[in-house]
A = this chain, B = another copy of it.
Amino acid sequence: MKIAVMGYGTIGSGVVEVLEINKEKIAKRAGEPIEVKYVLDLREFPGTPIENKIVHDYKVIAEDPEIGIVVETMGGVEPAFTFVKAMLEAGKQVATSNKNLVAAKGAELIKVARDHGVNFQFEASVGGGIPIIRPLNKCLTADEIEEITGILNGTTNYMLTKMTEEGADFDEVLKDAQDKGYAEKDPTADIEGYDPCRKIAILTSLVAGQQVDFEDIHCEGITKITPEDIKYAKAMHRAIKLLASSRKVGDSYTCLVAPYMIDDTHPLSGVNGVFNGVFLRGNVLGDAMFYGSGAGKLPTASAVVADVVDMTKHQNTNIYIDWKPEKLTLVSYDDSVNSFFVRTDSPKSEVEAVFGHVDYIEDVVDGEYAFTTGDMTEKDFADKASKINVINRIRL
Contact = CB atoms under 8 A, between A and B. Distances in A.
Interface of A: 18, 21-22, 25-26, 28-31, 123, 129-131, 134-135, 138-144, 265, 267, 269-270, 272, 275, 282-293, 296, 298-299, 301-306, 308-310, 313, 317, 320, 322
Nearest to A145: B25
B299 A286 contact: yes
* Complex A-B, nearest 9 residue pairs according to Cβ-Cβ distance, in ascending order: A288-B292, A142-B305, A131-B139, A289-B291, A270-B270, A141-B309, A284-B298, A285-B302, A29-B141
Contacts of A26: 141-142
A270 B267 contact: yes
A338 to B, nearest CB: 24
Contact of A28 (B289, B299, B304, B322): B322
Contact of A306 (B25, B130, B141): B141
A301 B287 contact: no
Given A18-B142, A141-B310, A309-B141, A284 B299 contact: yes
A286 B142 contact: no
A123 B143 CA distance: 15
B134 A285 contact: no
A299 B285 contact: yes
A148 to B, nearest CB: 13
A101 B289 CA distance: 27
A97 to B, nearest CB: 13
A130 B131 CA distance: 13
Contacts of A298: 284-286
A292 B285 contact: yes
Given A142-B302, A270-B269, A283 B21 contact: yes
Contacts of A267: 270, 291
Given A134-B135, A141-B310, A142-B303, 5 more contacts: A129-B284, A269-B270, A286-B298, A288-B290, A289-B290
A122 to B, nearest CB: 13
Nearest to A139: B131
A289 B288 contact: no
A299 to B, nearest CB: 5
Contacts of A288: 129-131, 290-293
Nearest to A127: B288
Given A142-B18, A313-B320, A322-B29, A302 B287 contact: no
Contacts of A275: 287
Contacts of A290: 288-291
11 contacts: A21-B284, A129-B284, A129-B288, A131-B288, A135-B139, A141-B310, A142-B305, A282-B302, A284-B299, A285-B293, A290-B290
Contacts of A144: 22, 25
Contacts of A286: 129, 292-293, 296, 298-299
Given A25-B144, A139-B123, A292-B289, A301 B284 contact: yes
A144 to B, nearest CB: 6
A291 to B, nearest CB: 4
Nearest to A289: B291
A285 B305 CA distance: 11
Contacts of A293: 285-288
A306 B30 contact: no
Contacts of A305: 141-142
